[in-house]
Amino acid sequence: MTSSRLLRTSGTAAAAAVLLLVSGCSAGGSASLDSKGVGFAREEPTPLRPLSATPPAALKPYYGQRLTWHACRARGFECATMKVPLDYTRPKAGGDVKLAVARKKATGRAKPLGSLLVNPGGPGGSAIGYLQQYAGIGYPASVRARYDMVAVDPRGVGASEPVTCLSGRQMDEFTATDQTPDDGAEAARLVAAYKKFGRGCETRSGRILGHVSTIEAARDMDVLRAALGDGKLNYVGASYGTFLGATYAGLYPSRVGRVVLDGAMDPSLDAERMNREQTGGFETAFTSFAKDCVGRKDCPLGTKSPADAGRRLKALFDRTDRHPLRTSGPRRLTESLATTGVISVMYDQSGWPQLRTALKSALKPAGKGDGSALLALSDHYYERNSKGGYANLMFANPAVNCLDLPAAFRGPDDVREAVPAFEKASPVFGRGLAWSALNCAYWPRPATGSPHRVEARGAAPIVVVGTTRDPATPYRWARGLAAQLTSGRLLTYNGDGHTAYGRGSTCIDTAINTYLLKATPPTPHKTCT
């Protein structure tokens, strides 16, 4: 099934920029439940309050640590381990968490600009993997020449005491679970799957499970800043990484250096609204794909109109719900896996040809449909390897999301009531994405965060990047975050895909590179194509 708020960019090696939506913070405004258990803010979310610029005495040993670097397996990179408190409210009693850190030293001889921390999103995306596979070699040479490129896997993610929940075989069952229940029995099976997932996380990762929130990860970044010897934090965050970066700015506005938030999230939204608006984002992205497809003679969804293409795709989903498609292996393509396969391509239009090919195979007539290609897309999205194992992303994602905001829904009745609004946002994906937002209702740890505004008063200029047809982080979220930040500067990319930096727009790349190298933000309301 498509994990609620698990979104990621595909595309070039770059972009394992992953997004997992909804993340709030305990220092934010008050969240409540209505009579049906749906999370919402009774009042305008209050601003995230800054922390003291002077660390408490109990945290000084963490802030005073120096990293011991050694060669990573990836050539040209150095690795280290950093300690942070498991529980910032009880740093002496709760024990420590060991975080994995990696860097690539600045390559130029000009005056260095310090460290540039990068995060690809998720939550659950490995920042170290992103650095070593893309940012450390693919960012512009001019940027890499002046900055030490640095990444830390957030707590519970990647190599930093990763959250684990289910075996590979159990994950195969979980991801194939019907996410559009037609009756009470199917709804009960979906609920049982969510409960089993949560129990697995508690059993395997109980020590850290209640301490992987975004606010804790942001506090860890300030410890890293000090350990690197930097007075301010320079940062590029993509997707969910924008929420992490904005949270840092809200907590430590005086320590904000040059910060880019690309594919921005709006922290003032509650979980139900965030999921529903993101559902609309996927519909927008699919419409762009469909417009391109129907203009081709070989479009597997027909050549009439985008709306007709959507109806044909929905019909395919309905058929796989009743009769899962065969594949080249023992697994069958269920409706939920087919949906995930299609959604995975919405992040980057470079995958559109692959999706057309996959749909052509699945839509063969007279029972000859083959789901292998769509299953491969789904597996790639879920980071399932050829041996049937799953990466940590799928476990860390709900672990962070379900702490960051109160659950969107309390139970199946709430989802049934919300389905019409989700289907209005997306006739193609709405029903399935509404039900996938139910997962946090059964999470074993209570949420510690709530919707809030991030103002970061006194911070240096922060560049917020929004893409007009972004499927995972709708453009209105970038506008919302830029408006909240007192020093926010909105940079707009009029185009398709998730995030904008390094994806082909010379205008976007020039504006961001100029800011990173010269501290000159884009002109107000700058728009690129």
Which domains, ranges and CATH numbers included, belong to the chain? 1-529 (3.40.50.1820)
Known catalytic membership, residue 26: no
3, 205, 239, 436: the active-site residue? 239
From residue 440, how far is each of 138, 354, 402, 444 by CA, in Å? Answer: 36, 33, 5, 9
Q: Which helix (H) or strand (E) holds 257?
A: strand 256-262
Nearest CA to 132 among 60, 209, 74?
A: 74
Known catalytic membership, residue 344: no
148, 370, 470, 496: the active-site residue? 470
Q: Peptide bond before 330: cis, by omega within 30 degrees of 0?
A: no
Render each residue's pLDDT in the chain as its tens digit; 529 residues: 554 444 443 333 233 334 444 322 222 333 333 333 344 444 679 999 999 989 999 999 999 999 999 999 999 999 999 999 999 999 988 899 999 999 999 999 889 999 999 999 999 999 999 999 999 999 999 999 999 999 999 999 999 999 999 999 999 999 999 999 999 999 999 999 999 999 999 999 999 999 999 999 999 999 999 999 999 999 999 999 999 999 999 999 999 999 999 999 999 999 999 999 999 999 999 999 999 999 999 999 999 999 999 999 999 999 999 999 999 999 999 999 999 999 999 999 999 999 999 999 999 987 889 999 999 999 999 999 999 999 999 999 999 999 999 999 999 999 999 999 999 999 999 999 999 999 999 999 999 999 999 999 999 999 999 999 999 999 999 999 999 999 999 999 999 999 999 999 999 999 999 999 999 999 999 999 9
213, 498, 505, 509: the active-site residue? 498
DSSP assignment, residue 190?
Answer: H
SS3 465: strand
Which residues, in sequence order, are bridge partners of residue 84? 97
- For 178-332, where are the alpha helices, taking DSSP H only? 184-209, 214-228, 240-251, 271-294, 306-322
Known catalytic membership, residue 498: yes
From residue 219, how far is each of 86, 159, 207 by CA, in Å? Answer: 11, 18, 19
Considering only CA atoms, give the Rg of the chain. Answer: 22
From residue 286, how far is each of 352, 470, 472, 479 by CA, in Å? Answer: 10, 10, 12, 22
Under a CB-based contact definition with an 8 Å cutoff, are residues 422 and 436 in contact? no
